[in-house]
Amino acid sequence: MTPDLSRLRNGMCPCLSGEHYEECCGRFHRGDAEAPTAGQLMRSRYAAFVVLDAGYLLRTWHASTRPASLDLDPDTEWRRLDILATSSGGPLDDKGTVEFAAHFRADGQRGIQREISRFVREAKRWYYLDGEVQ
């Protein structure tokens, strides 16, 4: 399934980098580049939720914990991502954690998903391993 770019605001990347989607997380979603850090992978995965790119989410999910399929709810509107803390996860690390708060609107209600996500790096690629919902 191709990303639904109509969900973007003014073509800007939903990860709040201040860049246009195509030059930011879009390049990861297309496979033109790999996220260099766990934090960037977290941001690109959030952006994938925004544009309903389940394929990217599955490709960046570690094989040991990845579900067989992923159904994204098009009625959930992801509004903002706040990175609260990171630990390791740099270009030379093999693991890292990212604590985040993702703000959304669903069924007319506002909500926040808080999680501490764990990432691992294998063969120079970062993968989401799992997360602890807060």
pLDDT single digits (tens) 57-79: 999 999 999 999 999 999 999 99
Classify residue 75 by burial, with Cβ atoms within 10 Å: 0-12, 13-18, 19+. exposed
Q: What is the pLDDT of residue 56?
A: 98
Mean pLDDT of 40-62: 97
**Average pLDDT taken over every residue of the chain:** 95
Mean pLDDT of 23-38: 97
The burial of 81, by beta-carbon neighbours within 10 Å (0-12 exposed, 13-18 middle, 19 or more buried), is given as buried
Q: Which amino acid does the sequence have at 91?
A: P
Sorting pLDDT into bands at 50, 70 and 90, what band is 1?
low
**Cα–Cα distance between 96 and 38 in angstroms, integer?**
6
Q: Which fold has domain 5-133?
A: Nuclear Transport Factor 2; Chain: A, (3.10.450)
Task: Write the pLDDT tens digit of every residue in 85-128.
Answer: 999 999 999 999 999 999 999 999 999 999 999 999 999 999 99
80, pLDDT greater than 80: yes
Evaluate if residue 134 carries a pLDDT over 70: yes
Where in the chain are the domains?
5-133
